Amino acid sequence: MFEKLYDAIVRHGTVIIHRHTSPDGDALGSQLGLAALIRDNFPDKTVFTVGDPAGRYSFMEGSGMDEIPDSAYAVALAVVLDSAERGLVSDGRYASAAFSVRVDHHILCDTFTDVEIVDTSFESCAGMIAAFASESGLALGKASAEALFTGMVTDSGRFRYDSVGPRTFALASFLMSAGVDTEKLYRNLYCDSLENVRLRASFAGRIKKYGDSPVAYIYTTAEELRALRRDPFSVSRGMVGVMADIRGIDVWVNFTEADGRVLCEIRSSRFNINPVAVKYGGGGHKKASGAEVPDREAAMAMLADLARLAAEDAAGADPAGNGTDDKGSADIVTDGKVTADNGTAGGSAS
Ligand SMILES: [Mn+2]
């Protein structure tokens, strides 16, 4: 499925690699992994990686981005990775490249490059680049393998999510045989500041159960948020995980009052909670979605909807609705057609 990417790389002397803004482990992993892969296999090519800073993933080798002039795009191939929509791409100059290819694993909702390689059955974009390396018979170096492995392990929730299958482990095995130092990687990925651990502990103490339902929540008022001296996003997204992995809790929501609204981060270990997020104007994934509601009353109404959904779905045979769209096979689109958007709004996890 990657012939067009391979051909495009062969045909261009300069390759500029983009990914989404505020990069996560997969955005950077696929970007740095592909850059190293091209450098290793096509030493005569000039490869640039561009975008906003790597943030907490700055420990990754080569994560300092390149500054390049606009003129570099005139004869270049731009590769856009892990980005579902054009507005999410860091550095919009990819659009001025001589040719462009996108590789992504999100539900197709926008087409904006000359060649689009989108396959939602992959757990990560890095996994797609690993498959590209494997299918194309490219030599895989340690730097490339470590970056790609970082993307796979982070976007798969440490190989736990539904999207993980035999292919995930086959590709992880392929990467590990190039010498991935997992001990060093996990030390960088899975460690937190004492301050954050204390904050999580205080949030754990505030978990509430919604009646007799398997729904839990934490509600942080605007006043409480001010006292924490944290930005709303880091509390909303950063603290939702304290409610994960609790026996008897299948759905959980972290509510955070900010700027006159209530941010809602919704998660489930079993059910497709996405329709509830969509009902409240948000979106995201089946088991991880987000929304914003006007007030506490609306937040409580959302909990009632989630409790109802959990009760109904638990009675059904297919709790997560896995029989349908999640296992989509390869969508390779080369023209301008856009398929239906299943909802990536709402600022939820990617
Ligand atoms: Mn991704």
Mind listing the pLDDT tens digit for each residue in 224-246?
Answer: 999 999 999 989 999 999 999 99
| Residue 29 CA, ligand 1 centroid: distance in Å | 9
| Residue 188 CA, ligand 1 centroid: distance in Å | 19
| Residue 69 CA, ligand 1 centroid: distance in Å | 27
List all residues 6 or more positions away from 321 whose beta carbon is below 8 Å from its beta carbon.
272, 286
Q: Which of 33-37, 85-89, 102-106, 316-320 has the lowest mean pLDDT?
A: 316-320
| Residue 167 CA, ligand 1 centroid: distance in Å | 16
CB 128 within 8 A of CB 103: yes
Specify the pLDDT at position 108.
83
Q: Span 176-196, mean pLDDT?
A: 95
| Residue 223 CA, ligand 1 centroid: distance in Å | 34
Q: What is the pLDDT of residues 115-133, one digit of tens each?
A: 999 999 999 999 999 999 9
| Residue 311 CA, ligand 1 centroid: distance in Å | 31
CB 332 within 8 A of CB 1: yes
In a domain, 341, yes or no: no
* pLDDT surpasses 50 at 341: no
| Residue 149 CA, ligand 1 centroid: distance in Å | 12
Task: Give the structural domain span for 286.
Answer: 194-315
| Residue 30 CA, ligand 1 centroid: distance in Å | 8
Its pTM stands at: 0.82
In a domain, 349, yes or no: no
In a domain, 266, yes or no: yes
Q: Strands (DSSP E) along the chain, which ranges? A: 14-19, 46-49, 77-81, 99-104, 115-118, 208-209, 215-220, 251-258, 261-268, 283-284, 288-293, 331-333
Q: Strands (DSSP E) along 184-337, which ranges? A: 208-209, 215-220, 251-258, 261-268, 283-284, 288-293, 331-333
| Residue 350 CA, ligand 1 centroid: distance in Å | 6
In a domain, 342, yes or no: no
185/202 same-domain check: no
Specify the pLDDT at position 285.
82
Query: Residue 109: which pLDDT band, with cuts at 50, 70 and 90?
Result: confident
250/163 same-domain check: no
139/211 same-domain check: no
Phi/psi at 46 (nearest 5 deg)? Answer: -95, 125
